[in-house]
Amino acid sequence: MWILFTILVGYFFLTNYLGAMKFGFNMVIKLLLTAVIPISVLIIVNQNKMLRTHLKLADELSKKLKENKLIQEKIIYFNSDYQKDSLAINVSLLLLIRSANNYIEVFWKDAEAIKNQMVRCSMVYAEDLLKDHKFIFKCHRSYIININYIDRIEGNSEGYKLYFENVPFPIPVSKNSAGRLRELI
């Protein structure tokens, strides 16, 4: 829209300065139709370029992910604002943490099943609790993940999505965190 507006304003001043043509409604329609085609092509080309880049990097990251697994045995305690909601799990079994307003939803692996529990505490508290573990990573403002359990990484023009085995939803990776994720993997 900004490019179209710039073209229209520039053409308006050009025609008024030179006085060669009349600037009317028909001229605006012709300019818009003429400018829409190159702008649409530029948008599609840019979208495809970003898609190819993210797909290629996502494939490379998925391959590296299989090779580099960090394991650390330590029990972590998520102390809830309510005592009955507190949770203690082995940090190496932690899959991900998802923010849910005043709660966090903790997902962990128990044998072959995935379990989850809501704990009334903040995402900042959980992040601070897990900051010493190199394989735990905050990939989005609403998600903290364990990179050891990432099943695959997919990319599209909007960025990366992480998939975990037996977790029914994808985890987005913010644009600011994408570079750090590549470094960790």
**CA-based nearest residue to 152, from 69, 71, 68, 65:** 65
Q: In this predicted structure, what is the pLDDT of residue 51?
A: 87
- Give DSSP secondary structure letters for the chain: -HHHHHHHHHHHHHHHHH--S---HHHHHHHHHHHHHHHHHHHHHHHHHHHHHHHHHHHHHHHHHHH-------EEEE--SSGGG-EEEEGGGEEEEEEETTEEEEEEEETTEEEEEEESS-HHHHHHHTTT-TTEEEEETTEEEEGGGEEEEEEETTEEEEEETT-SS-EEE-HHHHHHHHHH-
Q: In this predicted structure, what is the pLDDT of residue 69?
A: 59
pTM of the predicted structure, to 2 decimals: 0.64
Domain 68-184, CATH: 2.40.50.1020
pLDDT in tens, the chain (185 residues): 777 777 777 777 777 777 666 666 777 777 777 777 878 888 899 999 988 888 888 888 777 766 665 566 788 888 887 777 788 888 888 999 999 888 899 999 988 889 999 999 888 988 898 888 888 889 999 999 998 888 888 887 677 889 888 888 999 998 888 888 888 77
Q: Where are the domains of the chain?
A: 2-53, 68-184
82-101 pLDDT, tens digit each: 777 788 888 888 999 999 88
